[in-house]
Amino acid sequence: MIAVLLFVALVLCYISFRCKRRRLYELAALIPEAPMPIPFIGALQYTINLKDLPYNIMNIIKRFGMFAIEQGGLIKFWAGPVLFVAMTDPTDVEFVLRKCLDKSNIMWLLQTVTGNSGIFAPVHIWVRRRKLTVPAFSPKIINSYTDILIQKCEKLAQRFSKENLVGTGTFKAWSYVSSHTLDTVFDYTKKKKELEDVVDETSNLQNGENYKTVRCFLDNLIVLSRTDDITDIELREEVLTFLFGGTDTTAVTLCNTLKLLAKYPTVQEKVYEEIMQVLGDPTRTITKDDLQQLKYLERVVKESLRLFPPAPILLRKICEETELPSGKILPADTHIFIGIWAAGRDPKHWGPDADCFDPDRFLPDRPTGLFVPFSCGPRNCIGTQFAFMSIKLAITALIRRYKITGEEEKGPAPHMDCSFNIMMKANDDYEIGLEVR
């Protein structure tokens, strides 16, 4: 009798649960199903072998992205009772990134590390954190950091020579580049105590002045935080965000670009010729004004980001029923996978050669698809300008000295064996060679 009553209670609870979510199921039924046949079981097959997990996740991202493009840019899949939607349509993607600011809580594991930092914080916390950190990334502050960045990029180029990596075959560049990008953001292991005696220069920092005592972004954040009453916990969380979002993403983009320049030596020579044309004297130190003239190099970096975005997916959550520009309606409590990798390769928006490496597709007179490797809207990457400057300076420091060598690509579509484990990264740790010019 007890078992019967328990069974009836469970059935009634299930019916009530389904009734309360009737609207969700109605709207979800209008969205095409993803090619994963059985909930949980279909996902489980990808997680049996933990060693192969990153490779399989990347395959899932590609598979879902391409299928979403075929289905008009939107597909759904279920994880038990939770509705997920993979999105690639540029108009819908831009709308969601600009209007739907809540982050999906499926990244709770990473949030336990970074806390309520700018990447994963709920909107009401993020608004304040964004306001506090924006001054540290103002154009004047970033430009004032140019000379230090140039020094660090020169140091990276010299390190390859000092460690006998030039003219001696191939090597794995990842460890060198990632330590370089870490150094550009975070000079030393504790900073707050070191700056206790620094005169409060908040107003000067906001105006881009008087940086003699400030050597890195962490310095800027600490000094700027004094008048805004940032707690040690908040400061720690934002520092972790800078380390997480400002080092590996830049390192991956820099390495991807170097790898592509090795695959396409003709493109590399055009980059070198532009650098020489701007500098005139190959031994002259580059300036921030020179950097603005390296237009072809910027297009190369953008094309690298389009084909191999460090973060191939972005996550958002729909908190209330929302109609998309495409006309589709998403129910409340929908988790969104925004397919940056797929959106950057959609032939409907990038042309039939969407998989090909062509920096000139970013010429001003050529139409392009949605380009959001750093997201867009209010919750876009706050350090985009700094990242581009850092990457362009590093490539300039290397290309003016060395030829980047490696296995040349036989066709216009580059192949790079990548896995996704927080970032999308090449499995060979970016094996390249350097030769003196």
CB contact set of 327 (below 8 Å; sequence gap of 6+): none
Long-range Cβ contacts of 38-46 (<8 Å, 24+ apart): 39/77, 39/78, 39/79, 39/80, 40/79, 40/80, 43/79
Sheet (strand 431-436) strand order: 170-172, 431-436, 402-405
Nearest to 247 by CA among 155, 159, 177: 177
Sheet (strand 82-87) strand order: 74-79, 82-87, 334-339, 313-318
User: What is the C-alpha R_g of the chain?
Assistant: 24
- Cβ atoms of 398 and 157 closer than 8 Å: yes
Q: Is 255 annotated as a binding residue?
A: no
- Cβ atoms of 402 and 170 closer than 8 Å: no
Q: Is the dihedral of CA 202, 208, 210, 216 positive or negative?
A: positive
Query: How far apart, in whole angstroms, are the C-alpha atoms of residue 153 and residue 248?
Result: 16
Q: Where is the binding site for heme, in residues?
A: 381
Q: Where is the binding site, in residues?
A: 381
